[in-house]
């Protein structure tokens, strides 16, 4: 388990091994979510980072509803 200390200015340093594994960059925006007394931190991905994100999800079936189709 990796730990970090909250500074007097309420700043938190993300440890190097976590920054590397998530490929975080300086200035990158992060989303903080409070859930049941815990803080969840998620990187906000850029469009470039999303390319290929669903690549392994091609097996998911998708079928449009009839009311979603345009009228011709």
Spans of all domains in the chain = 16-66
* pLDDT higher than threshold 90 for residue 15: yes
- Whole-number Å distance between alpha carbons of 17 and 41: 15
Q: What is the pTM assigned to this prediction? A: 0.56
* pLDDT higher than threshold 70 for residue 42: yes
CA dihedral 21, 22, 23, 28 (to 10 degrees): -150
- Whole-number Å distance between alpha carbons of 19 and 30: 12
- The per-residue pLDDT for 4 is 92
* pLDDT higher than threshold 90 for residue 52: no
Please state, for a pLDDT cut of 90, what percent of the chain lies above it. Answer: 44
* pLDDT higher than threshold 80 for residue 14: yes
């Amino acid at each position: 388990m990796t730990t970090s200390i909250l500074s007097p200015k309420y700043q938190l340093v993300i440890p190097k091994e976590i920054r590397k594994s998530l490929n975080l960059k300086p200035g990158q925006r992060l989303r903080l979510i409070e859930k049941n007394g815990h803080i969840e931190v998620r990187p906000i991905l850029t469009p470039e980072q999303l390319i290929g994100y669903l690549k392994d999800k091609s097996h998911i079936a998708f079928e449009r509803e009839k009311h979603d189709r345009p009228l011709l």
